[in-house]
Amino acid sequence: MAETETHQHADPHDEDVHDANYQAPPEKTIEDLMAADQEDESLRRYKEALLGAAQAEKIIVEPNDSRKVIVKKLALVVEGRDDMELDLSGDISQLKKQLFVIKEGVQYKVRIDFIVQREIVHGLKYVQKTYRMGVPVDKMTHMVGSYPPKKEIQSYLTPAEEAPSGMVSRGTYSVSSVFTDDDKHIHLKWDWTFEIKKDWA
């Protein structure tokens, strides 16, 4: 699963998380994938390894949830510290009230925990836009990859980012996050906040 990342300053007019000129390939079911290219032995083995148990059975983790991708948790990961976690399985409208404190200048990563069920998903993408006092200051897009259904929670960890530093950078930031894919399905969209401080306290 190839992973690439772009990191750029946000354009205040850029509200679409997708390239308007990009045409995603048609969605394929697991049955479609297994039926294609049967004569190519190496490709067949690759698909079997990718799909795993999903070839033999329809994997449904949460029967009452019709979604293919269920985003469970976001975590800020800083080496040497406990992960700071947001539960995304409940009332996401309350997440803004939970403030993350990040020490200025530290290296951190974002981890997304999610479930894939029913069908394979193609080209998962994590887009994060950061604002300060309503003004966009940063945007990053991470290509997460394609994932088969699994009974276990699957995770994606972004490359390391450096928190802003200096007195001017200290303060509260609001973040708009979207977990989407090549087919323009919005699997989850949520808002959260963090504060840059001189120290963790």
Q: What is the pLDDT of residues 155-171, one digit of tens each?
A: 999 999 999 999 999 99
So what's the pLDDT on residue 201?
76
Same structural domain for residues 34 and 110? no
CA distance 113 to 70: 9
How many degrees, rounded to 5, is the angle at CA 51 between CA 50 and CA 55? Answer: 150
Same structural domain for residues 52 and 64? no
So what's the pLDDT on residue 14?
46
Same structural domain for residues 72 and 83? yes
71 contacts: CB under 8 Å, gap ≥ 6: 88, 112, 113, 114, 179, 187, 188
Residues of the chain with pLDDT under 50: 1-15
So what's the pLDDT on residue 20?
56
CATH number of residue 66's parent domain: 2.70.50.30
Both tokens of residue 84? 């700071």
Same structural domain for residues 141 and 190? yes
Strand 99-103 relative to strand 188-197: parallel, antiparallel, unpaired?
parallel
So what's the pLDDT on residue 154?
95
Same structural domain for residues 95 and 34? no
Strand 135-147 relative to strand 188-197: parallel, antiparallel, unpaired?
unpaired
> Domain limits at 184?
59-197
Same structural domain for residues 31 and 85? no
Same structural domain for residues 73 and 49? no
Which residue bears the tokens 């067949």? 44
Residue 4 located in a structural domain: no
Same structural domain for residues 53 and 63? no
Residue 148 located in a structural domain: yes
Same structural domain for residues 32 and 78? no
CA distance 69 to 59: 12
So what's the pLDDT on residue 4?
46
Residue 94 located in a structural domain: yes
Q: Where a domain ends, among 57, 77, 102?
A: 57
Both tokens of residue 190? 């949520």
Residue 8 located in a structural domain: no
So what's the pLDDT on residue 158?
94
Residue 44 located in a structural domain: yes
Residues 183/24, Cβ–Cβ less than 8 Å: yes
Q: Which of 148, 151, 154 is nearest to 49 (CA)?
A: 148
Q: How far is CA 107 from CA 80, 133, 162, 175, in A?
A: 11, 23, 5, 18
CA distance 44 to 198: 54
Same structural domain for residues 126 and 154? yes
Q: How far is CA 114 from CA 26, 45, 50, 181, in A?
A: 23, 26, 17, 13
Residue 172 located in a structural domain: yes
Residue 20 located in a structural domain: no
Both tokens of residue 176? 């708009």
Residue 75 located in a structural domain: yes
